[in-house]
Chain A
Amino acid sequence: MVDLFSMLFKTTGLFHLTPGMIVMWMIGLTLIYLAVSKGYEPLLLLPIGFGILLVNLPLAGLMEPNEGLVWRFYHYGIQWEVIPPLIFLGLGALTDFGPLIANPRLIFLGAGAQAGVYFTFFIAHAMGFDLREAATIGIIGGADGPTTIFLATKLAPQLLGSCAVAAYSYMALVPIIQPPIMRMMTTEAERKIRMKKGRKVKKREKLFFPLVSMFIIILLVPASAPLISMFMLGNLFRESGVVERLNHVAQNDLLNIVTLFLGLPVGATMHADSFLQPKVIFIFVLGLVAFSISTMTGILLAKLMNLFSKSKINPLLGAAGVSAVPMAARVAHKMGQEADKKNYLLMYAMGPNVAGVIGTVIAAGIFLTMLS
C-alpha cells in the first residue's frame, strides 16, 4: 500500500521539483507582479512570466521538442522567424515618419544612440562571451524587443530568454534609467532649447519614404531584410491610404495576435538549468550598460551637431535615439517641459526615436552579416 502511494507520488511533478525551479517560479511571479501592479510592459512581461512558470513545472513537457504545445509556438513562431517580422509589420503601420522627414538631420541621433550596442559588444566579448553571444547582449542597448529576439534566435538561442527579458525590462524602465543620465549630461539652458518648427511634410513624401528606405537599407544591409521589409510594408499600408483594412488589421488585430504568441514561448526558454547561471547576471548588467551608453552617445552627438549648426538641437532629443518607442520620446518631452513649460519636444523626439528603431535593426543586420 505504501509502495503504491510512493509510486503515485513519483509520477507527480512534486517529486521532480528542484530548488532551481522554485527560484524560477519566484522570477516568473515577480515579472507577473511587475506587469500587473506596476504596469511594466504588461503585454509582454505578463505572458513571459507565465511562460517561465510553465517551463519550470516538472514533467509538464510543454517545451518538449516536437511534442510540447509551447515548443510549437516557439518553433513555428520564433525559430521560423515569423513573429518578430509580423510585429514589425504592425509597428510600421503604427509609425508616423513625418517628424523624421521634417527634420532629417535628427536621423543621426537615432544612429548615434546605437553606439552603446557596439561598445557593449566589445565589452561582452572581452569578458569572455563568444562573438555571437556578445552581439546578442549588445543589441539590448537598442532597447528593441523584437529585434533582440530576432537576433538572439539566429546567433545565440541559449540567451534568448534572458536577453528578451532584459530588453523588455529596460524598455519599461526607460522613464527611470534615462532621466538621471540626461540631467547629468545636459545643462538647464540646453534643456530649454526650443526646436525650430519643422516644415510641413507632404503626403507624397510620406508615401515614398517606406519605398525608398526599403531599397536603400536592404541593398546595403541585406540581412536586415526580414524586419525592414515588414516594417516598411506596414508603413506603406498606412501612408498609401488605399488599404485601410490592411493598415487597421496590421496595427491592431494582427499585432495583438502575434504579441500573444510571442511572450509565452520566450518565457518558456528560461528553464532553471539554462537560466540560473552567473552569466545571466552579466547579461543584465551589460544590457544596462549598453542602454545607458546609448543614451549618453545620443546626447553627446546632439551636442556635437550643435557645435557646427546654427539652429540648435535640444540635446534631450539625443536620448530619444534609443528605439523604445514612444517611451524614450516621452521622457525627452517631459524633461524638456520640466525645464521650460512651453517647450513641447514630443513630436521632434519622435524623429530620432523612429530612426533609432531603424538603427537598431541595421545594427542587428550588420551583426548577422558578420557573424553567421
Chain B
Amino acid sequence: MAEDILAPLAGKIIKIHVAPGATVEEDDEVLIIEAMKMETPIFAPCDGTIKALKLKEGDEVEEDDLIAVIE
C-alpha cells in the first residue's frame, strides 16, 4: 500500500531528511517546509520505505503538491 506525502501548506522546502529507499516510521520527521518565516516539520503519515522523492530542497510548493511516496 503506497501513501503519498502531500504538502499540507504552501511554502518552500528547506530540508529533506530522507533519501529514496530510506525506511521511515509513522511520525518520523521527513522534511521541513518554511512558510510565514516559520519552519514547519512534516511527519510521515505511515510506516514504510520512501519510494520516490518528487521535489528537492529549495523547491516552492503549493498546498497538496506531491512531495514523496511511501510504500
- Is B one of A's binding partners? yes
Question: A: which residues have CB within 8 A of B?
Answer: 197, 326, 329-330, 333, 337, 341-342, 344, 346-347, 350
List A contacts of B35 (CB < 8 A). Answer: 346-347
17 contacts between A and B (CB under 8 A): A197-B64, A329-B36, A330-B36, A330-B38, A333-B38, A333-B40, A337-B41, A341-B27, A341-B41, A342-B43, A342-B45, A344-B8, A344-B40, A346-B9, A346-B35, A346-B38, A347-B9
Please state if B36 and A341 are interface contacts (CB–CB under 8 Å).
no
Please state if B40 and A326 are interface contacts (CB–CB under 8 Å).
no
Please state if A346 and B27 are interface contacts (CB–CB under 8 Å).
no
Which chain B residue lies CB-closest to A348? B9
Per the bound structure, the CA–CA distance linking A333 and B27 in Å amounts to 17
Please state if B36 and A346 are interface contacts (CB–CB under 8 Å).
yes
Which chain A residue lies CB-closest to B27? A341
With A341-B27, A341-B43, A342-B45 in contact, do A347 and B38 touch (Cβ < 8 Å)?
no
Please state if A347 and B43 are interface contacts (CB–CB under 8 Å).
no
Question: Which secondary structure dominates chain A's binding surface?
Answer: helix
Per the bound structure, the CA–CA distance linking A337 and B63 in Å amounts to 18
Per the bound structure, the CA–CA distance linking A326 and B8 in Å amounts to 18
List A contacts of B64 (CB < 8 A). Answer: 197
List B contacts of A326 (CB < 8 A). Answer: 36-38
List A contacts of B27 (CB < 8 A). Answer: 341-342
Per the bound structure, the CA–CA distance linking A346 and B36 in Å amounts to 9
List B contacts of A333 (CB < 8 A). Answer: 38, 40
Q: Is B10 an interface residue (CB 8 A)?
A: yes
Which chain A residue lies CB-closest to B10? A347
Distance in angstroms from B59 CB to nearest chain A CB is: 18
Distance in angstroms from B55 CB to nearest chain A CB is: 17
Nearest first, the 9 A-B pairs at minimum CB distance are A344-B8, A326-B36, A347-B9, A341-B43, A330-B38, A346-B9, A342-B43, A344-B9, A341-B27
| Chain B 36-68 interface 0/1 with A at a Cβ cutoff of 8 Å (1 = within) | 111011110100000000000000000110000
Please state if A347 and B45 are interface contacts (CB–CB under 8 Å).
no
Per the bound structure, the CA–CA distance linking A344 and B35 in Å amounts to 11
Distance in angstroms from B66 CB to nearest chain A CB is: 15
List A contacts of B38 (CB < 8 A). Answer: 326, 330, 333, 346
Per the bound structure, the CA–CA distance linking A197 and B38 in Å amounts to 21
